[in-house]
C-alpha cells in the first residue's frame, strides 16, 4: 500500500471528474488535499465532503490568470507550510473547426485554451517548484491527452496545448531533477466525465467506445491510479515519462 501520510497535494480542477477521483485516491493514502476550483464551489464542496482523512481544504482561482495562480500556491503554503505534489489537471476544450468559425472565434478559442491548458499549468509549475526547491523536493504530474499525439481536428488548440504541455514537462523534468523534483505526465483518451459526456452519447458514443479493444472508455479512477504512481516515492526515475491511458485506442511508437 502506498503511503502519502501528511503529504500536501494540490490538484487543480478537482471539483469533479478526473480531479475528484485523484483527490479521493490520494486522500485514501493519507494525503492532505487542496481541492482547487475555478467557478463551481458547490462541486468543490462535494469533493471535499467525499474525502477520507483530515486536513483537506478548498482553494479557488482562475489558473488562466497568472496572479491568481500565485495566489493559489501562496494560499496552500500559508495553510500547510508546503506543497509536496502538484497535479495539473484543470483544462478546457472548445470546438473551433477552422472552416466553420469566424476569425474572432478562432482567436478566442486559441487564447482561452492556451491560457488555461498550457500557460496556467506552466505558471503553477513555476510557483509550486519554487516552494519545492526550498523544501528539498517534490513531485509534479501533468494531465495531458491522447489528442497531443493523434490530433484534434475540430479542437486544434486543445491538441496543441497538450502537445506543448508534454514538451514543457519533459524540459522541466531535466531541469528540476537536480532539485529532487520529478515531473511526469499522464495522457488519457476519452474518460467518463462531464467534459466528455456529449461525445459519449448515441452513435458517436458507440464509435468512441469502439476505438478501444476493451469497447469502452477510461474510468476516472484509472487515470488517478497512474497519477498516484508517478507521484509515489520510488517512481522518481520515471521523470519525463508520458503514460498513455487510452485502452490501446491509439498506439504511438
Q: pLDDT class for 196, splitting at 50, 70, 90? A: confident
Say which of 158, 175, 179, 225 is annotated catalytic.
Answer: 158
Q: Measure the CA–CA gap between 88 and 141, rounded to whole angstroms.
A: 6
Q: Which of 45-54, 76-85, 187-196 has the lowest mean pLDDT?
A: 187-196
Q: Measure the CA–CA gap between 83 and 107, rounded to whole angstroms.
A: 35
Report pLDDT for 2: 72
Query: What is residue 106's three-state secondary structure?
Result: helix
Q: Measure the CA–CA gap between 130 and 52, rounded to whole angstroms.
A: 29
Structural domains of the chain ordered from first start: 8-245 (3.40.50.720)
**pLDDT tens for each residue of 50-102:** 999 999 999 999 999 999 999 999 999 999 999 999 999 999 999 999 999 99
| Whether 158 is catalytic | yes
Q: Which residue, chain included where needed, has cell 488562466? A: 64
Q: Measure the CA–CA gap between 63 and 250, rounded to whole angstroms.
A: 30
Q: How far is CA 30 from CA 9, 54, 56, 62, 81, in A?
A: 10, 8, 10, 27, 17
Report pLDDT for 240: 98
Read off the pTM.
Answer: 0.96
Report pLDDT for 136: 97
Amino acid at each position: 500500500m502506498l503511503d502519502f501520510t501528511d503529504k500536501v497535494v494540490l490538484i487543480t480542477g478537482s471539483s469533479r471528474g478526473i480531479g475528484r477521483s485523484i483527490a479521493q485516491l490520494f486522500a485514501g493514502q493519507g494525503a492532505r488535499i487542496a481541492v482547487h476550483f475555478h467557478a463551481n464551489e458547490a462541486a468543490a464542496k462535494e469533493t471535499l465532503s467525499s474525502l477520507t482523512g483530515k486536513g483537506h481544504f478548498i482553494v479557488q482561482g482562475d489558473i488562466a490568470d497568472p496572479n491568481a495562480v500565485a495566489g493559489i500556491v501562496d494560499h496552500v503554503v500559508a495553510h500547510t507550510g508546503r506543497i509536496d505534489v502538484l497535479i495539473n489537471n484543470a483544462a478546457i476544450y472548445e470546438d473551433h473547426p477552422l472552416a466553420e468559425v469566424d476569425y474572432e472565434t478562432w482567436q478566442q478559442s486559441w487564447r482561452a485554451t492556451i491560457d488555461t491548458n498550457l500557460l496556467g499549468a506552466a505558471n503553477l509549475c513555476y510557483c509550486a517548484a519554487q516552494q519545492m526547491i526550498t523544501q528539498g523536493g517534490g513531485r509534479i504530474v501533468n494531465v495531458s491527452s491522447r489528442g497531443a499525439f493523434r490530433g484534434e481536428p475540430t479542437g486544434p488548440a486543445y491538441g496543441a496545448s497538450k502537445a506543448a504541455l508534454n514538451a514543457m514537462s519533459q524540459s522541466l523534468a531535466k531541469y528540476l531533477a537536480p532539485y529532487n523534483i520529478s515531473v511526469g505526465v499522464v495522457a488519457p483518451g476519452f474518460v467518463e466525465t462531464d467534459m466528455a459526456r456529449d461525445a459519449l452519447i448515441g452513435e458517436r458514443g458507440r464509435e468512441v467506445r469502439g476505438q478501444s479493444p476493451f469497447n469502452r472508455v477510461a474510468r476516472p479512477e484509472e487515470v488517478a491510479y497512474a497519477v498516484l504512481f508517478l507521484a509515489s516515492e520510488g517512481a522518481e526515475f520515471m521523470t519525463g515519462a508520458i503514460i498513455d491511458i487510452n485502452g490501446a485506442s491509439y498506439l504511438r511508437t
